[in-house]
Amino acid sequence: MQNYMQTMNVQIIPFDEKYQQAIEDLVLPIQQSEFGVRITRDEQTDLIDITGTFQKGNGNFWVALREGKVVGSIGVVDIGNGQVALKKMFVNRQWRGREHSVGASLMECAKNWCREKSVKQIFLGTTAQMLGARRFYEKNNFAEVDKDELPSAFPTVHVDSKFYRCDL
């Protein structure tokens, strides 16, 4: 199993506690300032306890590093039945887009992990205002589903209004 990926001067590695503050510094401004999502750090137990939430069972969490600085993140939470919830996929604004491939590399890393773990489906929730993210998911074979189609173990977040599924 591949522990990390390196592409276009970006290294993707499994989360380590030393990146905790950097992940929070990446995620919170994107949510709150860039997209106006009304959610706090304290409302996101998965952000506060990355190891305890993501790094168990078929779950994991990765960081994208550029010259040692966190520029992206992605995680999958094991929700049982060969299914995971994709969460905390964020890329620093200056590293988004096809020319950098950070998002694509993070997604490839997560999907490869899931395939190696025999995960059959990936679910995710996002907000309506994150149009770029929604287009990205759709280009990566995620299909929109109704909230009532989510597995009962899917960890919903009060700000999410759009939901997706990808069959592997």
Amino acid 160: pLDDT: 94
Hey, what CATH class is 5-118 in?
alpha beta
**Residues 6 or more apart whose Cβ sits within 8 Å of residue 76:** 54, 58, 59, 60, 61, 84, 85, 86, 87, 110, 113, 114, 119, 122
* Other C-beta atoms lying within 10 Å of the C-beta of residue 60: 21
Q: What is the pLDDT of residues 138-152, one digit of tens each?
A: 999 999 999 999 999
Coil vs helix vs strand at 145:
strand
Domain edges within the chain: 5-118
Least confident of 4-18, 63-77, 119-133: 4-18
Amino acid making up residue 74: I
Q: How far apart are CA 142 and CA 163, in angstroms?
A: 9
Q: Taking all residues of the chain, what is their mean pLDDT, rounded to a whole number?
A: 93
Residue 55 has pLDDT above 60, yes or no: yes
Which percentage of the chain shows pLDDT scores above 90? 85
Report residue 1's pLDDT band, with 50, 70 and 90 as the boundaries.
very low
Please report which confidence band the pLDDT of residue 6 belongs to, taking 50, 70 and 90 as the band edges. Answer: low
Spatial separation of the C-alpha atoms in residues 101 and 18, rounded to whole Å: 24
| Cβ-contact 78, 122 below 8 angstroms | no
pTM (predicted TM-score) = 0.92
Give pLDDT tens digits for 84-135: 999 999 999 999 988 889 999 999 999 999 999 999 999 999 999 889 999 9
Cα distance between residue 50 and residue 61, in whole Å: 7
- Could you give the CA distance from residue 60 to residue 138 in angstroms, rounded to a whole number? 22
The H-or-E segment that residue 66 falls in is: strand 60-66
